[in-house]
Structure 1
């Protein structure tokens, strides 16, 4: 069966142009419309019936669910979504869920009442079973999320590999007692970052000391609290991997409160590369995620679903980067320890 992308390729236009011909032919140049019409006829293309239904009731608006609008991570992702959406004539409606399942589920009413055409969920808290039920009726894409199943398109990074990379860097700097302040382990991405930490420790023969593990909630306060607890132990860690930059900064301030210097007494690696990470003292070593590109890719996938195109690849993992700054001590040490 022919797809919209096949029509676009044969006509020599974009899928967005094919979509405009189907939805609003008056907005397309006659010459272009003729090419698309000819390709449709030649391929015997039939638009998806669900997409037809949405075209009849379309609002040119998509809903983006944000768990915490104050978090700059989500602001960057939304920026990517809005840029891609505007190119294709869509508006973005934001809803701050405050990490509440009830608010997420209540937002589905916007879809049911045809107030929006589709939805992008950032780090959802909703059970996967419920998301699958909703995705069977409405166009949905996830960002910064991992799913056990592969029935909803999602955009993220390889969080397990990233957690491994951050921990392995500290090991190569010579550290053996490396603590981990994870995110909420009920969240798949937090669990994956933690698994990456464990894998690196085990691979290098250091084992995993449960006394060095704390479960945070991505906030500055949890990073400060858990680092204070870790430094109150008889055998203190010499390094810490925190699963968010906010927690890493909290850990640095907790160390300062007991007159430990970073990185001389404690090496710190964070996660996300928020804007403040490079301006903090000391500048924070961290895993940089391509947030803006995540937003663009999520919107691209949603557009395909809105246009009736088949989305066969569900897992879209973008590349991250370990950004080395002063907080880990690598720049003072000049070189890492060979393994």
Structure 2
């Protein structure tokens, strides 16, 4: 009998464990425990650590349903992507979700949605969320952004520069990215370019194309229209468009792909048709997805500062949800950078011409 009781004491029923249980074990008030578990800076770091360790040891699980009833909050954040079903690449989607989850306080959960679904009248109630993040690719999102803004919910718009000054907005310098990618290839001696574009309705594609065109114009390079192809940001379109370029009989020395997914498809097309990369054709991608360094050859690409804008956006959203709407509005554009790997041949070195 004594052994049985001892076992019960060592493994208490998790459902019976409360904040007051932890408070008694830590010899602090239940208010201090509540603050510590929510990461409050009002509690000393050493005390927070002690309370967290006790909570883990006894298997404490916070009751978010009860917590939401008391605070009138859902602890749910809605992330809305442009064209989730057809326009947003799976790799970009995964990258954003993983980074958002790593930054958010553990008490919050994410709900992933498409802007198009919300605007088509599907049952997505804004009352389900404490805050909204819009990963915007297109001006077609503006109606949804205006709708959410009018609800008064904490809102941040990421990825695209929006044409208004009353919403927190963190975006990427896509035009600069397209330009620095092209200028890097030009410095390595490339003068005959192909371009595989992203979705025409996406602002990122428009800006990256503008950067490409700006670079070739400044260097007085003519790009044949037959070497500019319209993709959709997905690997298959990169493969199909590259096959069209190769079948034209007018082979470029370097192809700029407006994201890494299309670059993967394009490189595979070359390999399937007997071309070597980068000896025969060089490639530059965009986004610096996690897999790009592991391709053969590793892909030279433009690193999109996704982690930076996600970090800024999530931090701002949490601030608004916890402390209320700030009087100032933040709007920032973060510059990308070229990540040099092995997929671009240096045409200036004659010993590589063989």
TM-score (norm 1): 0.74
Is the alpha carbon distance of 1:124 and 1:109 closer, same or farther for their aligned partners in structure 2, counting shifts above 3 Å?
A: farther
* Structure having greater relative contact order (Cα 8 Å, sep ≥ 6): 1
- Give 1:326's match in structure 2, choosing from 323, 342, 348: 342
Confirm or deny that 1:316 pairs with 2:332. yes
Q: Measure, in 2, the Cα distance between the counterparts of 1:299 and 1:107.
A: 26
- Give 1:122's match in structure 2, choosing from 135, 152, 169: 135
Confirm or deny that 1:95 pairs with 2:95. no
Is the partner of 1:179 in helix, strand or coil? strand
- Give 1:60's match in structure 2, choosing from 72, 75, 79: 75
How far apart are 1:127 and its partner, in Å?
3.1
- Give 1:212's match in structure 2, choosing from 216, 227, 246: 227
- Give 1:160's match in structure 2, choosing from 163, 175, 178: 175
1:279 corresponds to which residue? 294
Q: Measure, in 1, the Cα distance between the counterparts of 2:284 and 2:159.
A: 20
2:191 corresponds to which residue? 176
Is the partner of 2:124 in helix, strand or coil? helix
2:263–2:283 contact (8 Å) kept in structure 1: yes
- Give 1:74's match in structure 2, choosing from 84, 88, 93: 93
Unaligned runs of 5+ in 2: 1-30, 44-69
Select between 287-296 and 180-189 the one with higher mean Cα deviation. 287-296
Q: Measure, in 2, the Cα distance between the counterparts of 1:331 and 1:171.
A: 9
1:78–1:295 contact (8 Å) kept in structure 2: no
Q: Measure, in 1, the Cα distance between the counterparts of 2:99 and 2:253.
A: 38
2:56 corresponds to which residue? none
TM-score (norm 2): 0.71
